[in-house]
Amino acid sequence: MALDLEAIYTDLHRNPELSYAEHRTAGIVADHLTALGLEVRDGVGGTGVVGVLANGDGPTVLLRADMDGLPVQEETGLPYASTARGTSPDGEDVPVMHACGHDVHVTCLLGAVDALVADRASWSGTVVAVFQPAEELGTGAQAMVDDGLYEHAPRPDVVLGQHVTPLPAGTIGLRPGPSFAGADALTVRLFGRGGHGSRPETTVDPVVLAASVIMRLQTVVAREIAATETAVVTVGSVHAGTKENIIPGEATLGLSLRSYTPEVRERLLAAVRRIVAGEAAAAGAPAEPEVTIGYSFQALVNDPDATARTGAAFRAAFGDQGVADPGLITGSEDVPALAAAAGVPLVYWLLGGEDPQRFAAAFAAGTLDSDIPSNHSPSFAPQLHPTLEHGVEALVVAAREWLD
């Protein structure tokens, strides 16, 4: 059975689903895995799907793909662009797009399973294919673990996976040790005293307070984190007020913090709490501000020995020029939960998905940031070929390195 990867990909791209709502996607995955002869369990951790391919004695390798889309209005102009809508966790009707490339991940893992089934005479062991929900919320991997992932499937000897990025198609980005940042999503509620816009002296303006907090937060990385450390503090949302001449009673900020070590993470969290409290006190706020953590991703740390072994297999397959260290990545991933729960090494790499000529031209012009759309952009559109084929091959090469 040779899967039509392009047809699978374009269908998934056209029909994305939000976190924990990946019912159609999970059904497609389960149907393909069943047709390929795997033992399949669905509904794991909500909408997760697990396929087990047992092929004699030998190591067990877990290959992972995530399935969820994002609340983004697609602007790629592709003939298979998404026009899908979904319901956000707070009940809002939102556009949905595979703006992070999880449709690539699902397609490549299905293709890798197909290839391993077709060539099962040349290897032995067990492949566990995990199709995970809700990576974008940072909870899907742990949800599958908590729902008995390793009761439905054997515990692996290694966890492997990949993430498509705007690196040139045909290349692999692999880094030992700390690779993806840990992330914390914070909600900050600032309380003021509302009133008429013509009489600000009777109020405590939470909009001005929010502005002070936002500006002060910009000093945390610049002045409280050592130059040898890496951290990010982003205020991604600000909500306050209903009308131009009404001073509201409160303002809400949405923050994203990124770090690679527990020490830096704690410093960031402490700084945010201190600054928010201090600015509220300076403004004469009538109530203490509230700071809550919505979700957290642990930092992704690739096992050095396992990464060296897998990287050697990649270089043998793709050449030295096809594998590079991408440096620290400030994006986050929840796949470490799968490896941590099993107590095994993790190897996670970047899969290039950008037109190499376009990438080279932007690199030469110094315009990579402006000319090459990145993950979560409404214009993010991986080049189908050779990205899909290369992603399949990368998973197969990595898996076969660990199988007998």
The binding site for Mn(2+) consists of: 100, 102, 136, 163
Strand, coil or helix: 404: coil
Q: Which of 101, 106, 116 is nearest to 31 (CA)?
A: 106
Q: CA 22, 27, 31: angle at the middle one, nearest 5?
A: 150
Would you state the structure tokens that stand for residue 210, as one six-digit string? 């929010």
Q: Which of 68, 74, 334, 354 is catalytic?
A: 68
Please state, in angstroms and rounded to a whole number, the distance separating the CA atoms of residues 389 and 82. 23
Q: Tell me: cis bond preceding 248? Omega within 30 of 0 counts.
A: no
Sheet containing strand 158-168, strands side by side: 39-44, 48-55, 125-132, 60-66, 158-168, 346-354, 172-173, 323-324
Residues 6+ apart with CB under 8 A from 91: none
Q: Measure the CA–CA gap between 28 and 46, rounded to whole angstroms.
A: 16
Round the CA-based radius of gyration of the chain to a whole number and report it: 23
- The CA distance from 404 to 402, in Å, is 7
Is position 68 annotated as part of the catalytic site?
A: yes
Cβ burial 29-47 (10 Å sphere, 16+ → b, else e):
bbebbeebebebbbebbbb
- C-alpha distances out from residue 353 to 109, 174, 231, Å: 15, 15, 26
Q: List beta partners, residue 231.
A: 259
Annotation marks residue 11 as catalytic: no
Instruction: Give the tokens for residue 366.
Output: 């110094």
> 183 by DSSP, 3-state: which?
strand
Which residue, chain included where needed, has tokens 């490339």? 101
Binding-site residue positions: 100, 102, 136, 163
Residue among 135, 205, 355, 401 flagged as catalytic: 135
To 10 degrees, what angle do helices 5-14 and 384-402 make? 110
d(CA 141, CA 57): 27
Quickly count: other Cβ atoms within 10 Å of residue 159's Cβ.
27
Catalytic residues: 68, 135
